[in-house]
């Protein structure tokens, strides 16, 4: 069957199975088990989430929002309760404005199935003045809350935060010097700390060193946490990995000797479940492009559905010259290496794959075969670990993979280039690497963004630091360039995205941007990159939250929209391309997540998510 025909068929099968999976009597248990098995064979594993119900005070009322789960029909209606009083029946969206309600009101929501109300949700989280503060505990006065991720660590359906702490003496790889230890914490939304991992003296602090992944890799309903470790790393239970006394730092502060490990941690306790040798090993330091420790320690990480059903862990090293990507499965408490792609191997050497990586990576089904590929800068590696294509245009600082053009089947890919001899930005067909359009070579083009930001045009826009105009999907001049080229966020009532930069959100317009939010008492991260700790659809309806640390680093402040929308979508967390993008968002130069379907002006109704939940 042609790849382009597989997805509609799989979605049709899934829809039929979802309809069949209504509550059944005990006598039908065997049939139900068969239905579930068939569903799992046709769909991707996803999280079993609660409603993510929130209320946010605004003026004389409360905004209330909740999730439409990917396992529910798009037409599901809801009964909204304030306390024991039913205040609304909502069918055309998953949010409601409760005019005149008290600020401290508590809400629950119930799905309406075949005219009858289902079970009540958990009680709503209250977002005071549009934000929720999650208390956090700095490991020392010289630490700042840095990148964060989310996962259901304990299996209760509610997401927890995993937070990286960076010391004030963190270093870019190009700079010598010693750094303090890096710590990772896990927090519930009420601020209860589940654990702390100390990566130890042999893991250097800096944006390119520790890339961590939070995901349920084994399908037990609880997320694990994976990252590179070393001698003297201490897990969340106090147990030391490797040698507690080993110090592999050189006189200039680099770590260019000693063992390197990959560890999977239990999301509930932070306990190290298994530690294996990190692949690829550093080997000869100079084989990565220099001999002093800069390019050898450029790491990336991600999560991908390489078999089309269950997630695999992606760990990578190098992008300026040699690049190596290792894919791991985590099943039954053990690592199994699925494949390794090495640009220096006899299969790949001389084929133009070396030197193509970016300061990030993207994951998605670029060839529509229902299995994910790894888009690694100016090249792509397929689900079986083979080089799929390369544009040979070299390293870049930003890249975006998504459905940016609803008139064109499949995904599109936009990236910028650092090389002065290559196009400053490229719009690529990620199925085969064909360049659809590009902008002239000029310089180190350090920023680039792709997304639908204007309601006056169907399809996305593209812009970058070094190109003066906004571009359309055809590559033509599309008007005034936005004031920032950083993150994006679905924030207000329409389906186009807003501009997220530093600690503010702006609405794009042809004649100028309009400020929607200026967050006070918080800070952005990673210096001039000025990114949030995390941004994505974390709670409430399908729109996105933004997480910044407070200036004193004692809280993660989670901002949410309070604009009521009439648009109804399944939670973006059940779109697996978007969900894996949240997982890799913390990797190196953070980038915003994109959905596998076009979400913007003039969009069609997206397909039912093709998922099952353990």
Looking at residue 27, what is its pLDDT?
A: 42
pLDDT at res. 552: 99
Is residue 61 domain-resident? Answer: yes
468-517 confidence digits (pLDDT tens):
999 999 999 999 999 999 999 999 999 999 999 999 999 999 999 999 99
Measure the CA–CA gap between 583 and 149, rounded to whole angstroms.
Answer: 6
Predicted TM-score (pTM) of this structure: 0.94
- 284 within domain boundaries: yes
Residue 119 sits in a domain whose CATH number is 2.60.40.10
Torsion angle of the four alpha carbons 581, 236, 223, 580, in this order, in degrees rounded to the nearest 10: 10
Look at residues 86, 104, 127 and tell me which one is the last residue of a structural domain.
Answer: 127
SS3 28: helix
User: Could you tell me if residue 18 is inside a domain?
Assistant: no
Q: By percentage, how much of the chain surpasses pLDDT 90?
A: 93
Q: How much is the pLDDT for 103?
A: 96
pLDDT confidence of residue 5: 39
Of 127, 156, 189, the domain-final residue: 127
| Residue 520 sits in the same domain as residue 588 | yes
- At residue 41, the pLDDT reads 55
Overall domain count for the chain: 2
Length of the chain measured in residues: 614
User: CB pairs under 8 A, 24+ apart, for 311-315?
Assistant: 311/45, 311/215, 311/216, 311/217, 311/580, 312/217, 312/338, 313/213, 313/215, 313/217, 313/226, 314/361, 314/363, 314/374, 315/211, 315/226, 315/228, 315/262, 315/278, 315/279
Q: What is the 3-state secondary structure (H, E, C) of 458-496?
A: CCCEEEECCEEEEECCCCCEEECCCCCCCEEECCCCCCC
Structure tokens at 557: 């402040």
Contact indicator for 451, 460 with CB cutoff of 8 Å: yes
**Domain CATH for 351:** 2.130.10
pLDDT at 45: 99
Residues 109 and 251 in one domain: no
Low-confidence ranges of the chain (pLDDT < 50): 1-9, 11-28, 31, 35, 38-39
Taking the C-alpha atoms of residue 190 and residue 183, their distance in angstroms, rounded to an integer, is 20
Structure tokens at 194: 């589940």
- The verdict on 109 and 152 lying in the same domain is no
For residue 53, give both structure tokens. Answer: 């119900």
Domain's final residue, options 104, 127, 150: 127
Q: Are residues 112 and 137 both part of a single domain?
A: no
- pLDDT at residue number 3: 40
pLDDT digits over 247-270, tens only?
999 999 999 999 999 999 999 999
Does residue 136 sit in the same domain as residue 117?
no
On whether both 448 and 416 belong to a single domain, the answer is: yes
Do both 440 and 587 map to the same domain? yes
Q: Give the Cα separation of 44 and 58 in Å (integer).
A: 38
- pLDDT number for residue 452: 99
Residue 5 forms part of a structural domain: no
Residues 320 and 225 grouped into a single domain: yes
81 and 224 part of one domain: no
596 occurs within a structural domain: yes
| Cβ neighbours for 306, distance < 8 A, ≥ 6 positions apart | 312, 327, 338, 371, 372, 383, 384
Range of the domain at 97: 48-127
Q: Is residue 501 part of a domain?
A: yes
Judge whether 119 lies within some domain. Answer: yes
Please name which of 270, 260, 399 lies closest in space to residue 324, comparing C-alpha atoms: 260
Strand order in the sheet with 224-230: 213-215, 224-230, 260-266, 272-277
- CB under 8 Å to 410, separation ≥6 — which residues? 4, 366, 368, 403, 430, 431
Do 90 and 198 fall into the same domain?
no
User: What pLDDT does residue 25 have?
Assistant: 39
Three-state secondary structure call for residue 20? helix
Q: Are residues 180 and 272 in the same domain?
A: yes
The number of C-alpha atoms within 13 Å of 87 and in the hemisphere containing its C-beta is 21
Residue 57, domain member (yes or no): yes
Q: Are residues 470 and 535 in the same domain?
A: yes
pLDDT in tens, 335-358: 999 999 999 999 999 999 999 999
- The token pair at 524 is 């952005």
In whole angstroms, give the CA distance from residue 423 to residue 462: 14
């Amino acid at each position: 069957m042609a790849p382009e025909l597989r997805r509609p068929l799989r979605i049709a099968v899934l829809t039929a199975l979802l309809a069949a999976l209504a509550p059944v009597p005990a006598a039908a248990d065997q049939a139900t088990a068969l239905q579930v098995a068939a569903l799992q064979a046709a769909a991707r594993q996803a999280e079993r989430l609660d409603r993510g119900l929130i209320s946010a005070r605004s003026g004389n009322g409360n905004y209330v929002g909740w999730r439409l789960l990917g396992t529910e029909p798009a037409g599901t209606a809801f009964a909204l309760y304030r306390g024991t009083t039913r205040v609304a029946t909502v069918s055309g969206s998953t949010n409601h404005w409760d005019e005149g309600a008290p600020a401290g009101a508590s809400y629950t929501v119930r799905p309406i199935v075949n005219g009858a109300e289902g079970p009540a949700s958990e009680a709503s989280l209250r977002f005071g003045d549009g934000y929720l503060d999650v208390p956090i505990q700095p490991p020392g006065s010289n630490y700042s809350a840095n990148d964060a991720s989310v996962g259901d660590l304990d299996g209760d359906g509610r997401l927890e935060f995993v937070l990286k702490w960076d010391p004030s003496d963190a270093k870019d790889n190009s700079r010598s010097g010693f750094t303090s230890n890096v710590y990772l914490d896990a927090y519930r939304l009420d601020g209860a700390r589940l654990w702390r991992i100390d990566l130890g003296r042999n893991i250097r602090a800096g944006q390119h060193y520790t890339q961590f992944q939070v995901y349920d890799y084994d399908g037990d309903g609880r997320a694990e946490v994976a990252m590179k470790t070393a001698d003297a790393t201490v897990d969340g239970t106090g147990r030391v990995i490797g040698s507690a006394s080993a110090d592999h730092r050189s006189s200039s502060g680099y770590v260019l000797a000693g063992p390197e490990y990959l560890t999977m941690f239990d999301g509930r306790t932070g306990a190290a479940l298994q530690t294996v040798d990190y692949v690829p090993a550093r080997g000869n330091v100079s084989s990565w492009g220099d001999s002093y420790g800069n390019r050898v320690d450029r790491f990336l990480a991600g999560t991908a559905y390489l078999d089309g059903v269950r997630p695999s862990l992606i760990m990578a090293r190098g992008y300026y010259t040699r690049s190596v990507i290792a894919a791991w499965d985590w099943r039954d408490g053990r690592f199994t290496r699925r494949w390794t792609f090495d640009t220096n191997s006899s299969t790949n050497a001389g084929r133009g794959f070396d030197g193509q990586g970016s300061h990030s990576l993207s994951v998605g089904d670029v060839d529509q075969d229902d299995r994910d590929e790894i888009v690694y800068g100016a090249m792509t590696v397929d689900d079986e670990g083979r080089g799929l294509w390369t544009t040979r245009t070299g390293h870049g600082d930003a890249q975006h993979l998504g459905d940016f053009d609803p008139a064109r089947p499949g995904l599109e890919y936009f990236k910028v280039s650092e090389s002065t001899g290559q196009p400053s930005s490229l719009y690529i067909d990620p199925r085969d690497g064909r360049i659809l359009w590009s902008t002239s070579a000029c310089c180190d083009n350090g920023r680039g963004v792709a997304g639908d930001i204007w309601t006056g045009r169907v399809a996305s826009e593209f812009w970058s630091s070094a190109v003066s105009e906004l571009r359309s999907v055809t590559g033509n001049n599309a008007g005034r360039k936005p004031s920032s080229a950083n993150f994006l966020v679905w924030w207000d009532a329409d389906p186009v995205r807003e501009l997220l930069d530093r600690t503010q959100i702006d609405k794009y317009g042809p004649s100028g941007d309009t400020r929607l939010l200026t967050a006070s008492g918080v800070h952005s991260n990673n210096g001039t990159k000025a990114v949030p700790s995390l941004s994505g659809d974390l709670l409430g309806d399908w729109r996105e939250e933004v997480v910044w640390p407070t200036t004193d680093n004692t809280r993660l402040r989670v901002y949410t929209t309070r604009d009521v929308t009439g648009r109804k979508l399944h939670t973006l967390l059940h779109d697996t391309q978007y969900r894996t993008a949240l997982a890799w968002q913390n990797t190196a130069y953070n980038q915003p997540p994109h959905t596998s379907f076009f979400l913007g002006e003039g969009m069609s109704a997206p397909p039912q998510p093709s998922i099952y939940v353990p």
